[in-house]
Structure 1
Amino acid sequence: MTREDWLPRRSAGGSALAGVLLLLMGAWQLLTGYAVAIGGVSVFTGGGYWYRGDSTGWGWVNLVIGLAAVVIGLGQLGAWRRLARWGAHPVPALAVASVSAVNQVLLAPQYPLWAALAIAVDVFVIWDLATRARAAVRSDRLAP
């Protein structure tokens, strides 16, 4: 095996898959947050959970997470020149996907099927961003 066989073959730019998945999750978080924030949907109805939350407040949390996911998803896709800087750095997208996964864990008692699907998509976004190449590696640096 040569040294080139060990180098990652993925691109160094933003991940299109992670960008599309972040846009999808962000849009769903925005719709859910809007429905909960205006009072049309009650998220916390039971008293058997170890945490309590205000439905309107939780709706605003979903709106913020959704908006951040949409903006960072557009950055991953390189949609705007100003957001292209964020596409080169996976940390904001990793943070939004992690916060979204924790949010879905807290919503799992109310919406178990959707929460499991959303957590799986968030974990897939985290995996995609964590395993892609960060920058082009120069071959002269690899020589021992």
Structure 2
Amino acid sequence: MAQASHGTYRIPTAKQSWVGGLELFAAIMMMIVGLFHLIIGLAAILRSSYYVVTDSYIFSYDVTGWGWAHLVLGVLVGATGIALVMGQTWARVVGMIIVGLSALGNFLFIPYQPMWSLLIIAIDVAVIWALAVHMRELPESGKTAE
């Protein structure tokens, strides 16, 4: 499908609009997940007795350590989401990597907050999918839309 051109503004096709909407969805969800990580991280750092720690979990770490990990993840995920909204092309690939780390971190955090962790993992998977669809739809360099 061709793009109509009016001066310097190009009207996007329906497919480009749909994919651009997915990228915006991913960026906004990354900012929200970043805030979630910050909240969980601060709760673990400031009030570690809030979390019930099981002794039999193979990946058991200090709750305060998990708090710092979530705090760092929150900043990274949120900042990458902001960069994605600003149109930074590097943010797509970096976003998939950081959101993948977020999913992994929440998988390891399941014994401390099972429902919360599973919810964030589901959101992370949706964000990775949205970014991957956008990567697949990018035009190859050197080709022009006709």
Secondary structure at the aligned position of 1:52 is classed as coil
Aligned counterpart in structure 2 of residue 95 of structure 1, from 88, 94, 97: 97
CA drift of 1:138 comes to: 1.9
Cα offset for 1:64? 0.5
Gaps of 5+ in 1: 79-83
Provide, for residues 75-127 of structure 1, a one-character-per-residue CA deviation record: whole Å limited to 9, x for no partner: 1111xxxxx42x45411100111010001101112222111111110000000
TM-score of the aligned structures, taking structure 1 as reference length: 0.77
Q: Which deviates more from structure 2 when the two are superposed, residues 93-102 or residues 127-136?
A: 127-136
Greater helix fraction, Structure 1 or Structure 2: 2
Structure 2 counterpart of 1:60: 68
Query: Which residue of 1 is the match for residue 123 of structure 2?
Result: 121
Equivalent pairs counted in the alignment come to 130
| Segment of structure 1 superposing worse, 10-19 or 123-132 | 10-19
1:46 corresponds to: 54
SS in 1 for 2:16: coil
Which ranges in structure 2 are unaligned for 5 or more consecutive residues? 2-13
Establish whether residue 21 from structure 1 lines up as the match of residue 23 from structure 2.
no
CA contact (8 A) 1:32 1:59 kept: yes
Give percent identity, aligned residues only: 27
Compare 12-21 and 93-102 and name the one that shifted more.
12-21
Higher strand share: 2
SS at match of 1:96: helix
Please say if residues 53 and 111 of structure 2, whose CA atoms lie closer than 8 Å, have aligned partners that are also in contact: no
CA distance in 2, matches of 1:112, 1:55: 14
| TM-score, scaled to structure 2 | 0.76
